[in-house]
């Protein structure tokens, strides 16, 4: 059947929900066009179906399509930022990367290569799905594109700066130690947000601090509140090129049960969205939303949360690109 889409400012937007019911048809993210349906895209959404790096429950390989399926209700105007991100920038769904599930090293290379290829036209990449292992190749690509180590805000219950698991260097618990070792992070401007839960030992925190990470715990968000946290994060990041990595387990399991390593006492989806909105104007060069494992989800709770986090990230990126004249006209 023919697709009927919203078109604004010459940009091809979502399938029009007033013409074709939003529950009909196969789903791209927010019913946006596929990359091959547009001439160019300023912002690309890409899925990474990969979960070979997990230490507990598997299933994040199915995350991207779950987020897409849970994004059918996303509307084109974002009142929280007073922007229409899909009219401001051409946003398109680039489909999924084809990654080897049996060879982590090869998968990491494929992801880095694909991320570089997708951004070769100056577009910004937002990655959905996969386990946290994939942040390493995505950061490699982001820092290569930025031409410098990048700042990072890492939303997660976990530090993910552990050394190895069963002798393996590349896992979902170790990407940010590897990234520091590789010199692709600007260690003056890296911070975890939402951290909580038991650790293996105090050394985990000592190592993490030595690498340069700041920590805003889940309890800090509760006691200090969103505004104070946002001010601190903005001070730390300044106008450096910033990568944002969102592990959906940063949310309390009540808000996001569909994940592989859940920890009690997390932040709410409202807090996460409000912190993200507070980052408006920062120079976001890439973002990922990882660790969505639909087998443990209920009523699309996790999928909806992840799809809205993705929407607010797109809104921030679109707004920044528009303010700098970076979008193709
Ligand atoms: N969910 C992520 N990314 N990491 C969790 C690793 C926790 C552990 O295995 O001890
Ligand atoms: Zn985590
Ligand atoms: Zn993580």
Q: pLDDT of 183-213, one tens digit each?
A: 999 999 999 999 999 999 999 999 999 999 9
Asked if 310 and 71 count as a contact pair (C-beta separation under 8 A), the reply is yes
Instruction: Please tell me the predicted confidence (pLDDT) of residue 329.
Output: 74
pLDDT tens, residue by residue, 218-238: 999 999 999 999 999 999 999
Distance CA 93, CA 228 (A): 35
What is the number of other CB atoms lying within 10 angstroms of the CB of residue 168? 14
CA of 293 to the centre of ligand 3 (A): 13
* Ligand 1 atom at minimal distance to the Cα of residue 259: 1
For residue 186 and ligand 1, the question of a CB distance below 6 A is answered with no
**CB of 137 within 8 A of CB of 115?**
yes
To test the pocket of ligand 1, the residue of 50, 51, 56, 170 to mutate (highest count of ligand atoms within 8 Å of its CB) is: 56
pLDDT band of 1, cuts 50, 70, 90: confident
pLDDT interval class at 148 (50, 70, 90): very high
Q: What local confidence, expressed as pLDDT, does residue 77 receive? A: 98
- In the chain, the largest separation of any two C-alpha atoms, in whole Å, equals 59
**Residue 289: CB partners within 8 Å, gap ≥ 6?**
67, 126, 127, 128, 129, 246, 248, 306, 309, 310, 313
Give the span between the Cα atoms of 116 and 227, in whole angstroms: 35
ipTM score of complex: 0.98
pLDDT digits (tens, 9 = 90+) for 45-82: 999 999 999 999 999 999 999 999 999 999 999 999 99
Q: What is the pLDDT of residues 238-287, one digit of tens each?
A: 999 999 999 999 999 999 999 999 999 999 999 999 999 999 999 999 99
Task: Report the pLDDT value the prediction gives residue 238, as an integer from 0 to 100.
Answer: 97
SS3 251: strand
Q: Is the CB of 158 under 6 A from ligand 1?
A: yes
Burial 291-316 (b: 16+ CB within 10 A, else e): bbbbebbeebbbbbbbbbbbbbbbbb
pLDDT at residue 207, as a whole number: 98
Whether 55 is in the pocket of ligand 1, judged by its Cβ within 6 Å, is yes
CB half-sphere exposure, 101, CA atoms < 13 A: 11
Q: Report pTM.
A: 0.98
Whole-number Å distance between alpha carbons of 31 and 41:
15
Q: DSSP letters along 108-138, please?
A: HHHHHHHHHHHTTTS-EEEEESS-GGGHHHH
Confidence at residue 326, expressed as pLDDT on a 0 to 100 scale:
97
How many Å apart are CA 150 and CA 244, to the nearest integer? 10
**CA angle, 134 as apex, 130 and 138 as ends, to 5°?**
125
Question: Is 137 in contact with 176 (CB distance < 8 Å)?
Answer: no
Ligand 2 center–CA 55 separation, angstroms: 11
Mean pLDDT, rounded, for 159-183: 98
C-alpha distances in angstroms, 229 versus 119, 220, 236?
31, 8, 11
> Does ligand 1 have an atom closer than 6 angstroms to the CB of 255?
no
State yes or no: pLDDT of 171 exceeds 80: yes
Cα(270)–Cα(32) distance, rounded to whole angstroms? 24
- The average confidence (pLDDT) of the chain is 98
pLDDT of residue 254: 98
Q: What is the CA radius of gyration of the chain?
A: 18
Cα of 279 vs centre of ligand 1, distance in Å, is: 26
């Amino acid at each position: 059947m023919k697709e009927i889409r919203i078109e604004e400012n010459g940009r091809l937007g979502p399938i029009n929900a007033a013409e074709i019911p939003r529950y009909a048809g196969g789903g791209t993210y927010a019913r946006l066009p596929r990359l091959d349906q547009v001439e160019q895209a300023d912002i690309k959404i890409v899925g990474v179906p990969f979960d070979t790096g997990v230490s507990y429950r598997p299933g994040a390989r199915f995350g991207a399509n779950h987020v897409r399926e849970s994004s059918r209700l996303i509307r084109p105007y974002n009142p929280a930022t007073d922007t229409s991100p899909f009219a401001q920038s051409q946003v398109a769904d680039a489909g999924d990367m084809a990654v080897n599930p049996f060879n982590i090293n090869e998968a990491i290379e494929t992801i880095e290569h694909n991320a570089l290829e997708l951004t070769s036209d100056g577009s910004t990449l937002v990655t959905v799905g996969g386990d946290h292992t994939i942040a390493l190749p995505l950061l490699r690509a982001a820092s290569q594109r930025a031409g410098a180590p990048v700042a990072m805000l890492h939303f997660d219950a976990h530090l993910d700066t552990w050394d190895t698991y069963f002798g393996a260097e590349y896992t979902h618990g170790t990407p940010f130690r590897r990234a520091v070792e590789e010199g692709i992070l600007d260690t003056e401007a890296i911070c975890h947000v939402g951290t909580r839960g038991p650790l293996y030992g105090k050394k985990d925190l000592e190592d993490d601090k030595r690498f340069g990470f700041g920590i805003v715990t889940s309890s800090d968000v509760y006691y200090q509140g969103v505004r104070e946290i946002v001010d601190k994060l903005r001070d730390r990041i300044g106008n450096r090129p910033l990568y944002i990595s969102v592990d959906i387990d940063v949310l309390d399991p009540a808000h996001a049960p569909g994940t592989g390593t859940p920890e009690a006492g997390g932040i709410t989806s409202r807090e996460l969205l409000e912190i993200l909105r507070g980052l408006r104007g920062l120079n976001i060069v890439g973002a990922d939303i990882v660790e969505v494992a639909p087998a443990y989800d209920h009523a699309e709770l996790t999928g909806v949360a992840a799809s809205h986090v993705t929407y607010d990230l797109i809104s921030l990126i679109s707004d920044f690109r528009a303010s700098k004249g970076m979008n193709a006209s």
